[in-house]
Amino acid sequence: MHELSIVANLFEILEEKAKEKKAKKIVSVKLRVGKLSGVVPEFLITAFDIYKKETIASKARLKIEGVPLKIQCLRCGAEMIKDDFVFICSSCGSTELKTLSGTELLLERIEMEV
């Protein structure tokens, strides 16, 4: 349940960006949350709705795009999505793999009224 501290970090960035762009309010916030980011999107939304009261984002909506865990095999080059978290290449069995996406916890964009 570290979603509340992550939302606190999110608001630090939101307030900084809003000030920079001289925004009057924040309308929506979009995150990209990887399957292996270690956070639960539903809890992020709950924490966001608690935290946003009396902030510049008090009416804002949090949108979350889930990102699957995508890896590439460094031996045969195959790319695959791993829902089971098994870090073994499905085509050649190699364990020399590169993670392409799915670990991110990213603030993608902010919609503001200026």
Task: Give me the residues that bind other proteins (CB under 8 A), please.
Answer: 1-2, 5-6, 9-10, 12-13, 17, 21, 23-24, 27, 31, 36-39, 84-88, 95, 104-114
- Least distance from other proteins to the Cβ atom of residue 27, Å: 7
Task: Give the integer Cα–Cα distance in Å for 66 and 58.
Answer: 24
Q: How far apart are CA 80 and CA 74, in angstroms?
A: 12
- Min dist CB 12 to other proteins, Å, is 7
**At closest approach, how far in Å is the CB of 32 from other proteins?**
9
Residues in the chain: 114
Residue with smaller CB distance to other proteins, 2 or 79: 2
Give 72-95 as a DSSP string. EETTT--EEE-SS---S-TTT---
Nearer to other proteins, 67 or 110 (CB): 110
Beta carbon nearer to other proteins, 16 or 54: 16
The number of beta carbons lying within 10 Å of the beta carbon of residue 46 is 15
